[in-house]
Amino acid sequence: MKIAVDAMGGDKGSQAIVSAIKEFLVDNDDVEIIVFGDQEQLKELPSSCRIVHAPDVVPMEAGALEVIRMKNSSMYKALSTMKEEGLDAVVSTGSTGGFLSAATLILKLLPGLKRAALVTAFPTIIKGKKVVVLDAGANNENSPEELVQFAYMGRAYHQALFDVDSPKTYLLSNGTEANKGSPAVKKAHELLINNNFPGFKGNLEAREVLKGEADILVADGFSGNILLKGAEGTAKTMSNMIKDIFKKNLWTKIGYLFVAKGFKNMSETMDYKSTGGAMLLGINGVVVKAHGNSDAYAFKNALRVAKKMVDYQVVSKIKEIGKSGQ
């Protein structure tokens, strides 16, 4: 198995990525990692890694065309080498928009698929349980037929990552009844029922997502993005408030000692870093986007997700969805 790593463009610098690769290889010495970046910053990588010098960093606001013009950027080189050499996967922590759109342009959509979708695993209050959400923001709008394909792709992704026999799939909507939702959601609901989609359970309201009833949540890219960022913003705001409460004075610091364990568990439950970033589904290759502020722990999880996707042959499984003409 060969995984390309774009080592530039993350908020924490390439050192975090070097550490992540070292730790990952301890348990996965059968994987070959090809690392793209400034070779000066990559000296501490183990000798088993191939290093490709590509020092330019794609700016955060770059689009696909800009990435493709930057021939010496780590991102472009990682994607084009993947295409040329048939590497199995690519992982990047750089510019989201640039990475996703350049990956689609260079690696191409799988035949029969209408749109790629960004998928992520989101925490729930059920210990260890994540809900798979897609599209998390690769698209600005989606047709009912695209939502149906997302449901099939989400199921393939879920089965690769988690050991659940019959995952429950829901549509994100503004009401639980079948006749509630945007026009696209209402029509997709009808299509999923007509298709006898395995494990389709109907609509889910945004306030229920964290409860963990759903395994897979299908949304158009615009509202999926709003759900995820809204929940992330609320959780972060409350976490900051909690920190301020405990830091206030000596007494509140003493108070913290009595409940430190509980609050640590809570922040682990709500921690998106353990989910290993997001993956672009529907593309000819495993394309993983780690969070821009990934530390070594988060980036190692992103590498693990990439490996699981290759092991489980998610790309071939999604190819079947395109062929079946769903």
Kindly state the smallest distance separating residue 120's Cβ from its own copies, in Å: 14
Degrees, nearest 5: CA angle 57-82-273:
60
For the chain, how far is it from start to end, CA to CA, in angstroms?
Answer: 30
Whole-number minimum distance, CB 165 to its own copies, in Å? 26
For its own copies, the closer CB: 71 or 211: 211
Q: Select from 152, 191, 188, 195 the least CA-distant residue to 173.
A: 188
196 phi and psi, to 5 degrees? 50, 45
Q: Which is nearer to its own copies, 169 or 182 (CB)?
A: 182
Alpha helix stretches (DSSP H) within the chain:
13-27, 64-69, 74-85, 96-107, 144-161, 183-194, 221-247, 250-269, 296-311, 314-324
Supply the minimum distance, in Å, between the C-beta of residue 171 and its own copies. Answer: 12
Distance CA(270)–CA(34), nearest Å, equals 32
The residue among 62, 60, 107 whose CA lies nearest residue 81 is 107
| Cβ-based nearer residue to its own copies, 89 or 228 | 228
Minimum CB separation of residue 189 from its own copies in Å reads: 12
User: CA-to-CA distance for 10 and 74, rounded, in angstroms?
Assistant: 12
d(C-alpha 194, C-alpha 203), whole Å = 15
Min CB(67)–its own copies separation in Å: 17
- Compute how many other C-beta atoms are within 10 angstroms of the C-beta atom of residue 60: 13
CB of 147 to its own copies, least distance (A): 13
Closer by beta carbon to its own copies, 66 or else 88: 66
Interacting residues toward its own copies by CB under 8 A:
61, 97, 125, 137, 140-141, 172, 174-175, 177, 180-183, 185-186, 205-211, 221-223, 225-238, 240-242, 244-246, 248, 251-252, 254-259, 262-263, 266, 269-270
Closer by beta carbon to its own copies, 174 or else 316: 174
Work out how close the CB of 22 gets to its own copies at its nearest, in angstroms, rounded to a whole number.
32
The least distance separating its own copies from the CB of residue 211, rounded to whole angstroms, comes to 7
User: Which lies closer to its own copies via its Cβ, residue 88 or residue 146?
Assistant: 146
Nearer to its own copies by Cβ, of 228 and 296: the residue is: 228
Closer residue to its own copies in complex, CB, 78/185: 185
Q: Is 250 exposed, middle or buried, given 0-12, 13-18 or 19+ CB atoms closer than 10 A?
A: exposed
- Reading the block at residue 203, the tokens are 């609509």
CA distances from 220 to 115, 136, 191 (A): 11, 8, 15
